[in-house]
Amino acid sequence: MHDIEPHFKWRDHYIASEDERSPFYGRDYNEFQYTQKIYNYYIHPQWDHFGSSTLYMKILFVDYEEGAAIIELIGEWNDCLQNDIMFLKRDIVDELTPHDITKYILVCENVLNFHGSDDCYYEEWYEDIVEESGWICFINALDHVRDEMKEVQLQHFVNFGGRFNNIIWRPFQPKMVIKAIDALVHSDVKRLTY
């Protein structure tokens, strides 16, 4: 897992540690020492800790004009034992939403497991942004992760599965990714999960 680093090709567009409005503003990274772990596995030092012991993130891009953020995740998303959604909502989303960020793309291809609890924080997150035409989208979730999310009924608040899987995003500029996901979200009123 230490070889998996967050997407870095957009650093000329955005760096969270240099953005005064970012929850990670001023954070320093030691590129030579691996200190963070998911269970017994060290992870790349560029991943950001946000309160969870099993899930890490990187804010890859924030477009304040468009009101959108792209966040990449790695690890095990465990709402049942770790209450990861609480940390994500309180320490990240609640810091970005006052800056009019209402569109959230979470890249979930490195989320290895999902253990749901209830949907209260997801519902709160959705209600915070829906009046501003906002949305939440999890892209490229693994099949078993998607199944777990569906069992907890997250599809009422989050777009995932179906057309939101197998998204090729890395070669494109971040603003293009935001426009493409926005078009997918608005192409059908109903949420898709498979």
Question: Per-residue pLDDT tens for 60-113?
Answer: 999 999 999 999 999 999 999 999 999 999 999 999 999 999 999 999 999 999
- Provide the number of structural domains found in the chain: 1
The answer to whether residue 86 sits within a structural domain is: yes
The pLDDT score that the predictor gives to residue 191 is 47
The answer to whether residue 191 sits within a structural domain is: no
Q: ∠ CA 107-108-114 to the nearest 5 degrees? A: 150
Spatial separation of the C-alpha atoms in residues 136 and 160, rounded to whole Å: 9
The pLDDT score that the predictor gives to residue 33 is 83
The pLDDT score that the predictor gives to residue 193 is 42
* pTM metric for this prediction: 0.94
The answer to whether residue 162 sits within a structural domain is: yes
Q: Say whether 113 sits in a helix, a strand or coil.
A: strand
The answer to whether residue 101 sits within a structural domain is: yes
Low-confidence ranges of the chain (pLDDT < 50): 189, 191-194
> 42 and 98 in contact (C-beta within 8 Å)?
no
* Domain, as residue range, for 83: 16-186
The pLDDT score that the predictor gives to residue 1 is 64
Spatial separation of the C-alpha atoms in residues 122 and 74, rounded to whole Å: 19
In CATH, what number is assigned to the domain containing residue 113?
3.30.750.24
The answer to whether residue 2 sits within a structural domain is: no
